[in-house]
Amino acid sequence: MRHAMIMAGGAGTRLWPVSRTDRPKQLVPLIGGRSLLEVASDRLDGVVETDRRWICTGERFREQVRATIPGIDDDRILGEPCGRDTLNAVGLTAAVIAREDPDAIFAVLTADHVIEPQKTFAERLDAGFELVEADPNRFVTFSIRPTRPAIEYGYVERGAEIANAPGCFEAVRFVEKPDRETAEAYLETGRFAWNSGMFVFHARTVLDAVARFEPATRAGLDRIAEHWGDDRRDATLAAIYPELRKVSVDYGLMEPAGGDPSISICTVPMDVSWIDVGSWPSLGETMAPDDAGNRVATPTNHVDIDSRDLLVLSEDPDHLICTIGCEGLVVVHTEKATLVCRAEDAQKVKEMAGLVRKDLR
């Protein structure tokens, strides 16, 4: 059967001070009054049934996730005792799902993306599932049509089209974040696209691959799965999970899989609007600008004279933000902290979050 797991465990420190250690960005109503997690869950409508949707998050966020996604079964929330990067989130999901559904195929999605139109996303995700249903030894990744020579994303080079799977291709190689000149050359070839970080896997194939590439991790996952249905589950998870090697799915799984003859790596291009909401400027891309390029988040109370290209957000609609003659700024107001920076310096917000008092992070 088809399943889907949404990774929702990131700290989101580049969206501080709205994203905090006690309420990370995926749980904050940033997208028209809705959270990124809600948006990610709703995108699955028509492709994966609600009772086969899973969320992998920090255990400390369990109650917030339940409040954000009403109706989700508690056992569909995979609460990590601590973050151990994406390979372990994928491995834990595969191990748990395979216990109840040995032939499970699952999508790996994230609560970081705004993707439109939903119809195209659903069609392409369906194509990814069909590839793995036809051949369980396939690892499917989704690639995004690039709109610019971005240097903040990895790239996928597509090869030959797969027989009986129109619009789906063999993946020739994955390339980590390139410099601008290289990114421009990639776009000129027409063969490269952004690596979205979304996948479809057969659960048993993933576990078998982890056994070959990360045997100690597979052993730990097996012990966790052994006790998942009994009263030793939480204690086993708490004892073993923090000891698993911290590694991303790209380095721990996809990279070695590229040299494994038993695995076929495929890519499904998505011709969609795709925004990876990882910074204030990228969040601004989800908001419609006014004639001066200013983007104001709902329900912010903002009055301006002669400013351009601002991003303004306030959590308190009764707090008035006034700007005069400003340009290219990010202005964020919360109850306990206010951030003002040039948009071009937004990458330093994570550094700033590390400098403030611990109770304000």
State residue 264's pLDDT score: 97
State residue 288's pLDDT score: 94
How much is the pTM?
0.94
Secondary structure in 3-state letters for the chain:
CEEEEEECCCCCHHHCCCCECCECHHHCCCECCECHHHHHHHCCCCCCCHHHEEEEEEHHHHHHHHHHCCCCCHHHEEEECCCCHHHHHHHHHHHHHHHHCCCCEEEEEECCEEEECHHHHHHHHHHHHHHHHHCCCEEEEEEECCCCCCCCCCEEEEEEECCCCCCCEEEEEEECCCCHHHHHHHHHHCCEEEEEEEEEEEHHHHHHHHHHHCHHHHHHHHHHHHCCCCCCHHHHHHHHHHHCCCCCHHHHHHHHHCCCCCCEEEEEEECCEEEECCCHHHHHCCCCCCCCCCEECCCCEEEEECCECCEEEECCCCCEEEEECCECEEEEECCCCEEEEEHHHHHHHHHHHHHCCHHHC
| Structure-block tokens of residue 295 | 């983007």
* CB < 8 Å & 24+ apart, contacts of 341-345: 341/280, 343/280, 343/281, 343/284, 343/309, 343/311
Query: Does the structural domain 2-276 have CATH classification 3.90.550.10?
Result: yes
Tokens 């949404």 belong to residue: 6
pLDDT value at 361 more than 90: no
The amino acid sitting at 104 is A
State residue 326's pLDDT score: 98
Q: What is the pLDDT of residues 156-175, one digit of tens each?
A: 999 999 999 999 999 999 88
Q: What is the pLDDT of residues 215-231, one digit of tens each?
A: 999 999 999 999 998 99
20 in Cβ contact with 121 (< 8 Å): no
Q: Count CB neighbours of 350 within 10 A.
A: 16
Q: What is the pLDDT of residues 53-108, one digit of tens each?
A: 999 999 999 999 999 998 899 999 999 999 999 999 999 999 999 999 999 999 99
Q: What is the pLDDT of residues 257-299, one digit of tens each?
A: 999 999 999 999 999 999 999 999 999 999 999 999 999 998 8
224 in Cβ contact with 240 (< 8 Å): yes
Domain ranges within the chain, ordered by starting residue: 2-276, 280-360
Radius of gyration of the chain (CA): 21
Q: Give the dihedral sign, CA 144/129/43/257.
A: negative
Tokens 């994203």 belong to residue: 19
Q: What is the pLDDT of residues 100-149, one digit of tens each?
A: 999 999 999 999 999 999 999 999 999 999 999 999 999 999 999 999 99
Model confidence at 205, pLDDT cuts 50, 70, 90, reads very high
